[in-house]
Amino acid sequence: MTLPDGWEGYERNFLGLEEPWCHPDQAGIYVLPAPYEHTSSYMPGSDKGPSAIIEASHQVEFYDEMLRCEPYREWGGIATTQSLNLAGSVDQAAVDAIEAFVRPHVGTGRFLVTLTGEHTGALGAIRAHAKKYPHLCVLQIDAHGDLRNAYQGNPYSHASVMARVVDDGLPLVQVGVRSICPEEIERIKHTKSITTFFAAPLLDPSGPYEGKASRWIPDVVNACTGPVYLTFDCDGLDASLVPALGTPEPGGLGWYDTLNLVAALANGPGILGMDVSEIAPIEGFVAPQFCVARLIYRMLGRIRAGRRVHG
């Protein structure tokens, strides 16, 4: 088999898979790198995140000791497109370009993982999925609300991306939020389609959930009004796991809580697509991107297991 134009071979694909496991005709997962950054307001470099994640993924073991399988085989393989060139495209033009990049693959039977830079890039992937799946519910794992109508005068800021999702009429469930402004609180209070699970009540041992994921995950799943699109900002994790971030925040989700949440969503409403954003690599420090690469692979295993539950 020969890879068609626009697809990466083992040296540059996710996990470093060889043919036929990286061939788009066989693979059940497509990884779509769309490295956009324009409005990062603290630490820049998120546009380097997708390539860093892919490079680090070559060190990830294929066997999932919890699922007792090699998930990439269960999916039939993982194919990776060449990176989208976003040079000269910003704000709405960049979002539109990412939507056009993702849209042809939605509804083809493949599960799509869009790797972007700042969280704004996720909007294009979300819109591509929403046009195919009208009952989609967006599940946001994030330290920040991202619900400002505009930030620094820009409605396409990374701090406003979820406001655009809500404006599109999509229901939104937020998990792990712990950095937010009064404007965003008011939007949450007065918008019925937004359900926000702040980090402290979930994760603080003195909180109402006593720090036990088994107590709060069912509430998150029940808040989802339909099949889920997962938008995963890496700062949703605790910064001790992934410190290489554009806007790091302490007090986030842990490794196993995150995997358990993804498993519950996959087994419940189902997950139809996902994106990963906001890792800003630190030169010479590979642990953050390795953590994210391994987490993506572990998530994909649980999403595949969930599809077996749904038949």
Output the CA–CA distances (angstroms, integers) from residue 217 to 212, 221, 257, 295, in the order listed. 9, 6, 9, 18
Q: Is 64 annotated as a binding residue?
A: no
Q: Is 168 annotated as a binding residue?
A: no
Burial class (CB in 10 A: 0-12, 13-18, 19+), 274: buried
Q: Is 190 annotated as a binding residue?
A: no
Q: Is 91 annotated as a binding residue?
A: no
- The Cα 37–Cα 50 span in angstroms is 11
- The Cα 275–Cα 229 span in angstroms is 8
Q: Is 119 annotated as a binding residue?
A: yes
Q: Is 142 annotated as a binding residue?
A: yes
- Helices 287-310 and 49-57: angle between axes, nearest 10 degrees: 80
- Binding residue ranges: 119, 142, 144, 146, 233, 235
- Binding residue ranges for Mn(2+): 119, 142, 144, 146, 233, 235
